[in-house]
Structure 1
């Protein structure tokens, strides 16, 4: 048997590493670490995500945001992140609307935020995963009456 380097194998075949898929926590931790590489970097915030209709919110994008930082990472794209929309990020990172709102919405920080601040919010979403009050708030936010009242303010 002839020993060949990975580079030599790439010349004759497509070589893919068979790594286990990242868990939700690993994906979130990786995203937070990406942002912490330049914690002072200014990122664009999403305006009023809680007031957008579900359809609009799922398609929302913001150039230079924490979501576009995640999508720029080859590892997260290889794991299945398809684009930098709000809805895709919510699906990929397994975040609720309230959790993603806390990470990207302008109501907490204004038009821009520091990458380090976003990383803290991401880590908070990991830590609150099993918190009773977080689960209760998520359940209430799904109630039809809550949505009607929220959208009535628009």
Structure 2
């Protein structure tokens, strides 16, 4: 593994941890040249279904986009990165278990909302208010009332 700091090709694994659910391996590495440490993750390479957007375009699934949208909703909320990673793992597992070659983006949005509702009610409301494109305050009020039950 090449060092991300100095591009030296020799690095040494100093610590290895398996995630709680066993879905990935986290490795701490140290460069043999500059001695800086960095983290790598190993996870299986799987084929996710193509995402069909509302306008009909088809794009590849990107974990980074899912993580970014969840992080935006969870900004300044008391949710750990481990909890977010676990939520993303559950979403990805559901996508793979569908066994489909294509999935509507709205289905992914619903999966994200379900996970956010479990993690943090405020983040859920943030995401849902943008995702569902509320037209008036009554729609927003209905969502907040639903969360408070």
* Structure richer in strand, relative to its length: 2
* Structure richer in helix, relative to its length: 1
Structure 2 length as normaliser, TM-score?
Answer: 0.28
Structure 1 length as normaliser, TM-score?
Answer: 0.27
